[in-house]
Structure 1
Amino acid sequence: MNRTASGGGIVRNRKNAGFTLIELMIVVGVVAILASLAYASYAQQIVKSRRATATACLMGQVQYMERYYTSRFTYIGATVPSSGCVTELNDFYTFGSTITASVYTLTATPRGAQAAGDGRCMTLSITDKGIKGRSGPATDVLDCW
């Protein structure tokens, strides 16, 4: 539809039909950046959650070892139970123990996705004296425990 403007020129009315391709590409790019940031944060929280579960499993094993020692006055013969949380974390941690008559060390070593996703806190350990340890570049043991 053509109209004549007061200046004598022709003005065309144009209806906006929607977004241009450039506008759409910008929106898709922004959404992709936000999604990648959200996924990275989510993956980090999953690693922390599994680590917290592994430390809880180790503490449960410590309680078992102390009950065993209380009734027998030795750690020899104690078999660390592979309870539900240990089997639940089977794909992410390998649990181990070193046991003598008067001392023990329990460990949880990350594997698979857990080892790849967390370079700060690798192998977690606890001794019969309650000394908590970790391998990896974390600055403090409490960062991992």
Structure 2
Amino acid sequence: MYKQSGFTLIELMIVVVIVGILVTIAYPSYTSFVQKSRRGDAIASLADFRVEQEKWRANNISYTTSAADLGLSGSSKDGYYDMTIVSAGASTYQVTAAPTGVQSSDSCNTFSIDENGPDYSGGYADADCWER
């Protein structure tokens, strides 16, 4: 007697269905996790802007509106956010980090800081988003 070994088509299809269900459940969780981890790029870049603005203000009469004056670029370190100095004056400034590219679908949207720290007003990212 010869015994055949291997998988039947039904067994193979059951495995494919199970893998499909697992992927359907896991992929949204994975993308959410990736977006949360990329928020650290905005937070770290905003911290750099804050430090550099304070250094600039210590040596000048006001904050600057130019990222080049601070030695920084218009994008975050990893490139997931566009950095903009919205306003700057003698005693105040505001810097925003707007998501771009693959990060633009993040629910937290735009992060903002001012001279006092994170700015949660005006539709900017709330405290939960800052916690990553």
Structure 2: runs of 5+ lacking an equivalent: none
Kindly state the Cα deviation for residue 86 of structure 1 after the two structures are TM-superposed. Answer: 2.1
Asked if the contact 1:96–1:107 (Cα under 8 Å) also holds between the matched residues in 2, the reply is: yes
Asked if the contact 2:46–2:113 (Cα under 8 Å) also holds between the matched residues in 1, the reply is: yes
Distance 1:100 1:44 in 2: 37
Q: TM-score, normalised by structure 2?
A: 0.78
Partner of 1:38: 26
Residue aligned with 1:125, SS? strand
Asked if the contact 1:93–1:111 (Cα under 8 Å) also holds between the matched residues in 2, the reply is: yes
Asked if the contact 1:95–1:106 (Cα under 8 Å) also holds between the matched residues in 2, the reply is: yes
Which of 88, 98, 107 does residue 109 from structure 1 map onto?
A: 98
Poorly superposed stretches of 4+, deviation over 6 Å: none
Q: TM-score, normalised by structure 1?
A: 0.72
Which of 86, 94, 103 does residue 76 from structure 2 map onto?
A: 86
Asked if the contact 1:105–1:125 (Cα under 8 Å) also holds between the matched residues in 2, the reply is: yes
Partner of 1:132: 119
Which structure carries more relative contact order (alpha carbon 8 Å, separation 6+)? 2
* Matched pairs, number: 125
Kindly state the Cα deviation for residue 33 of structure 1 after the two structures are TM-superposed. Answer: 1.9
Q: Percent identity?
A: 40
Partner of 1:95: 83
Give the aligned CA root-mean-square deviation in angstroms: 2.5
Partner of 1:52: 40
One-letter code aligned to 1:144: C
The answer to whether 1:67 aligns with 2:52 is no
Deviations 1:62-113 (A, max 9, x none): 01101111222311x4532325x72521xx3111112122211000011222
Partner of 1:122: 109
Distance 1:131 1:93 in 2: 16
Kindly state the Cα deviation for residue 36 of structure 1 after the two structures are TM-superposed. Answer: 3.2
